[in-house]
Amino acid sequence: MRMKFRAGMLVTAITLSCSALQAEDEHSLSIKNAGGKAATQETQKFNQQFAKTLNFKDVRAFENNAVGLVAEFDQETGDIIRNSFNFIELDSAAKAPATVNPSLWRQAVLNQQANGLYEVLPGQIYQIRGTDLASMSFIRGKSGWIVYDVLTTKQAAAQSLKFFFANVPVGGDLPVVAMLYSHSHADHFGGARAIQDAFPKVKVYGSKNITKETVDENVLAGNAMSRRAAYQYGATLGRHEHGVVDAALSKGISTGEVTYVKPDYELNLKDEIENLTIDGLDMVFLDASGTEAPSEMVTYIPSMNALWTGEVTYQGMHNVYTLRGAKVRDSLKWSKKINQMISLWGDGVEVLFASHSAPIWKNTEIVDFLKMQRDAYGFTHNQTLRLANNGYVLQDLGDKIYEVMPESIQQSWHTNGYHGTYSHNARAVYNMYLGYFDMNPANLNPLPIKQESAKFVEYMGGATAIMTKSKQDFADGEYRFAATALNKLVQVEPTNLKARALLADAYEQMGYQAEGAGWRNIYLTGAQELRNGKLSPGAPKSASADILTEMDPGMLLDYIAVQVDSIKAQHVPFTMNIIIDNDIYYVEMSNGNLSNIKAVKVNKSADATITLSQQGFNQILLGKTRLVTLIESKQATLEGDDKVLSKLVSTLVKFDPGFEIVPFSDKTVDADLYK
């Protein structure tokens, strides 16, 4: 029994390693009754002046959005997301509330217009728009439908599929024969299981290396990303004029289970382009990996003169750096890939459709759109580096990039910073090339945040002096520096309720002024947590059961290694072989670090050897069995030192899914705003 008890320790290790990844999904902004304060006179003036810079006469995006509506959503389908934003009136694009930046409000109205099944090309291409962050596209093949990008959750995909077949004017009796993932983000593959459940014979295609990139991107830093994503998408904010009004790419993200059906075929794209015939339809794929996602492709369908751009384009500027946290993207490559699309297909394309936003028709309009998108990313890259080469540093670039923006880009709606602002994208370019350090010696080794804050408060004359000056700055609309100073004070005195209240007020007004949806949500969530204290918003469940089972043991062991407390681990060295379906992994704890390598043969000097099947390993991952159970049923074995697993478990820490972003306090201020 002793060996069985120790063997069971692996279950604990795996449970600890996956617990943060399987948190309940509350990413849907589901708390409905959040509130907020009114916009100040200074915010109203700011938004009124901002509105004067916008070209409201350009309504082309709204016209494209309305083309081809076959059927509006019924109540059940609309309730997935859209109906919770019914406070947004469709004729209010130029009439923003005082608490919303007028450009962001216009985007919110545009995305609210998406409301059903749309015909892109008669009898050939259809889209469901408005049930999730992405759109689901259906392309007619020889014997059935090819579905492109299948939303975030199984539930949203199932309802969208049902609505499609109930309303499509032709081919409603045909099956879905193929499913394509354009790239490695969950809102484009998460509903896959619903499609496979409905059509078990469906063949699945994915972009180059999509499975690897899917399980890699959000795992090692997954807990931090989840907490940050709750801020970016306003997970605890209500949907109203004081809270969330839009998610930039669409209205929001569906709730439910994120799934993943491993592709039958992942594109090779050895020469960047690959031609495939899928259900009798010739399709040309262009590798776009390293632009918006580490694995991504765009598609041209010659017989339809149709270009599918995935998420390389949409009606707005995308993230070169995403605020939830991810590796910086290559804006120069992004610009060049769009240029390549123009070069390859610009002469013949007649319709452009994508993962987000409405399609665009007519060759000249499509090419103009692509050129402006190309130049927006190229401008961000090139001008950031021009400024950097003239001595501008990361902190300065957020403002400076707007000073050098050409009027044509500023006046184009579809290059506005709803998802990726030019401010944080320019800083991302700087960071990609030059890193976070600006070479000023004062910034090379600053004090930790709380120690630095204490010295700032001391130098500024203490809490009373800071409050006096911050109140005046707030009254003058100088919210940015007031927030900087007040943050220092709240770091030092987290229970100073007057400071918390004023800092929350400053964040709130900054949120009301923000054009970027993510910026707005971050400011407003910061204000909410300052007022209410610690909240538990949950996180996007991107690493769900279906995705976890696609992780190879080395990936899982890498994730376990991130959770090792090195101080504890330095005292419990060990070695271990893990054999899964004849694949051998050699694991070593040494110098406080857990390493693993895929080996050619078993290391006979290892302290212990565990042998089990991939199926058994997956069942343990999902919490459906324990190693001890597999050993009892002779589906697994453990040989050698049975204390090895307890040593591993003794070093593991459990991540805090609600760690501090703004300073926490047990005392609340203005909490009644959110009742």
Per-residue pLDDT at 534: 78
Residue with tokens 């049930």: 131
Residue type, 565: D
- At 657, the pLDDT band (50, 70, 90 cuts) reads confident
Query: Rounded to an integer, what distance in angstroms lies between the CA atom of residue 515 and that of residue 507?
Result: 14
End-to-end CA separation in angstroms for the chain: 54
Per-residue pLDDT at 547: 72
Provide the CB-side half-sphere exposure for 457 (13 A, CA): 20
Residue 33 pLDDT > 90: no
How much is the pTM? 0.92
- Angle of CA points 196, 202, 203, to nearest 5°: 120
| DSSP label at residue 606 | S
DSSP β-ladder status, 265-266 and 203-206: parallel
Rounded to the nearest 10 degrees, the angle between the axes of helix 517-532 and helix 497-513 is 160
Rounded to the nearest 10 degrees, the angle between the axes of helix 644-651 and helix 9-18 is 30
What would the mean pLDDT of 292-308 be, rounded to a whole number? 97
Residue 405 pLDDT > 50: yes
Query: Rounded to an integer, what distance in angstroms lies between the CA atom of residue 375 and that of residue 412?
Result: 11
- Angle of CA points 243, 246, 247, to nearest 5°: 115
CA distances from 659 to 20, 39, 323, 545, 546 (A): 12, 30, 17, 24, 27
Burial of residue 190, with CB atoms counted within 10 A of its CB: 0-12 exposed, 13-18 middle, 19 or more buried: buried
At 533-560, the pLDDT tens digits run 877 655 445 556 667 677 788 888 898 8
- At 204, the pLDDT band (50, 70, 90 cuts) reads very high
Q: How far is CA 345 from the centre of its chain?
A: 30
Q: How far is CA 231 from the centre of its chain?
A: 11
Q: 374 CB contacts (<8 Å, ≥6 apart)? A: 335, 338, 339, 342
Pick 629 or 589 by higher pLDDT. 589
At 349-380, the pLDDT tens digits run 999 999 999 999 999 999 999 999 999 999 99
Instruction: For each of the domains in the chain, give its residue range(s) and CATH number, in order of start.
Output: 2-21+549-651 (3.30.1050.10), 31-372 (3.60.15.30), 446-534+660-674 (1.25.40.880)
At 70-118, the pLDDT tens digits run 999 999 999 999 999 999 999 999 999 999 999 999 999 999 999 999 9
Q: How much of the chain, in percent, has pLDDT values that exceed 70?
A: 93
Contact 131, 77 (CB under 8 A): yes
Mean of per-residue pLDDT scores for the chain:
91
What would the mean pLDDT of 612-634 be, rounded to a whole number? 82
Residue 429 pLDDT > 60: yes
Secondary structure class of 611 (helix, strand, coil): strand
Helix (H) or strand (E) holding 380: helix 363-389
Q: Which of 149-158, 274-283, 544-553, 650-659 has the lowest mean pLDDT?
A: 544-553
CA distances from 142 to 21, 163, 170, 174, 660 (A): 40, 22, 13, 10, 54
Q: How much of the chain, in percent, has pLDDT values that exceed 90?
A: 80
**Helix boundaries (H) for 476-563:** 479-492, 497-513, 517-532, 545-548, 553-562
- At 621, the pLDDT band (50, 70, 90 cuts) reads low
Structure tokens at 501: 């209240």
At 320-348, the pLDDT tens digits run 999 998 889 999 999 999 999 999 999 99
